Amino acid sequence: MTRLPQIGPGWTLFLDRDGVINERIFDNYVLDWKDFHFTNDLLENAAQIGAAFEHIIVVTNQQCIAKRLLTQDELDEIHRRMCNELHLAGLTIDLVLVATEFKNGTAQRRKPQPQMAYEAKRAFPNIDFSKSIMVGDTNTDLQFGKRLGMKTILIESKEIVKEVPDLRLSNLSELSKFL
């Protein structure tokens, strides 16, 4: 396990959603708030994680929109409730960016493409990718972070990941031990 650099003023945390913030439903999607369950101990450690970063950005691939399993308004409502619960626990999400296109199409925004990170930087020009951490549970999450020069954290699951992260954790709440 590699150590993270000292986190201080000016750092940004980029988070994947499924498998990082909420329990991932393998081979399916979170299509309703009742199916959205925060990962183990995240709400209990949210304040410590939230206090460590200047910006916290969610970057998530959600092809369920392209597949018409969920409307954009329904997805926005899930994200509004997610952000509200996290805020009440002490972690404020500054921005939620979603790639809604098909996985095997001409993906412009989907991770590992860096487009969502550039959108975050336009919204918050002080974001420095060299002072950023990407937390995810897939190869594409780690590739996204590495392409931008970020530190990467893998949340381990049954997903087979070949990319080598800077740090491996069993869930996002464990990040609090490194802050």
Q: Which active-site residues does the annotation give?
A: 16, 18
CA distances (Å), origin 116, targets 97, 136, 145, 146, 163: 6, 14, 11, 14, 20
Beta carbons within 10 angstroms of residue 42's beta carbon? 23
Burial grade of 177 (CB within 10 A; 0-12, 13-18, 19 or more): exposed
CA angle 83, 89, 94 (to 5 degrees): 35
Backbone angles phi, psi at 174, to 5 degrees: -65, -20
